[in-house]
Amino acid sequence: MSAIVPETQTRVLNLVQAVNEALDLALERDPRVLLFGEDVGRMGGVFRASDGLQAKYGEHRVFDTPLAESGIVGYGIGLALAGMRPVAEIQFAGFLYPALDQILSHLGRYRHRTRGRYSIPMVIRAPYGGGVHTPEQHADSPEAVLCHVPGVKVVIPSSPERAKGLLLSAIEDPDPVFFLEAIKLYRGVKAEVPQGYYTLPLGKARIVREGEAASLFCYGGMVEVCQKAAEVAAREGVELEVVDLESLTPLDTETIVGSVQKTGRAVVVYEAMRTGGFGAEVAARIAEEAIDFLQAPILRVAGWDAPYPPFSAVEHYYRPDAKRVLEAVRKVLRH
């Protein structure tokens, strides 16, 4: 998918405001776009991502659903088959599990099941990740589960400007896209966001900071963490390269391999459980295509193999921070 170039005029938005603006533009541009989920309509979403949109576009296009995630996803599949462009919100990514039957058995299979006659142009948005002391299951990071579903894309933005352009691309996409938004970033970051409608290509990683000493591969809420680690390392004379994967499926292997060929060292950072996490896939791609360039083992900095601590003042021990990233960097540099 080629990108639509954004306007040069910008204004400062946080990430949830950028998401709201993208949804507004999509609803305005295409009458087939429908927005729905738990508390999405009248309340405007638990994080207010759809604030004001029901009043602007009516209850037939922006509406609430029962507390039934399997029903929300199944309903969206039916709408997409009928020619609509459904955008479903799951209130928290950790609530997706009741919908796994719809996701695993149907969502990504229709293009193959019908030999290309039908696809499911549906977006499923969900907040994910920790850092704001939420209850149990509200901080889960199930991206690896979703990446293992055939026929779907998984996109995780790391800034307001990227969130707006990537979400509009996801809504235009002919196939299902999971769009995960880091809760920690919703109101934790502000940035200049281009006005008007623009899209950014899916399936492309981006280098947000160039360096020669080691590569940090990350996405979503961990990009901010890795940038902080890189700033500290730079003060010690070590320049780290920070690569925002942004799109996990499809994964931009070319950019990953190119970075490792330059630095010779790789640290993968993600906040999901370590075992079976998406960092293992990144490490495997590097091992398959760039092992001859490695000067040290690939290291992972991740959550622990335990449930995310709910309501807890110790969640910073679970969620990776710049200190843990720098410990891994020092280890690969000493090797």
Annotated catalytic residues are 138
Q: How many CA atoms lie within 13 A of 162 on its CB side?
A: 26
Q: How many CA atoms lie within 13 A of 56 on its CB side?
A: 15
**CA distance linking residue 10 with residue 195, whole number of Å:** 5
DSSP string, 264-276: S-EEEEEEEESTT
Q: How many CA atoms lie within 13 A of 178 on its CB side?
A: 33
**Phi, psi torsion values for 194, nearest 5 degrees:** -60, 145
User: And the tokens for 44?
Assistant: 């405007």
Question: If 0-12 CB within 10 Å is exposed, 13-18 middle and 19+ buried, where does residue 12 land?
Answer: exposed
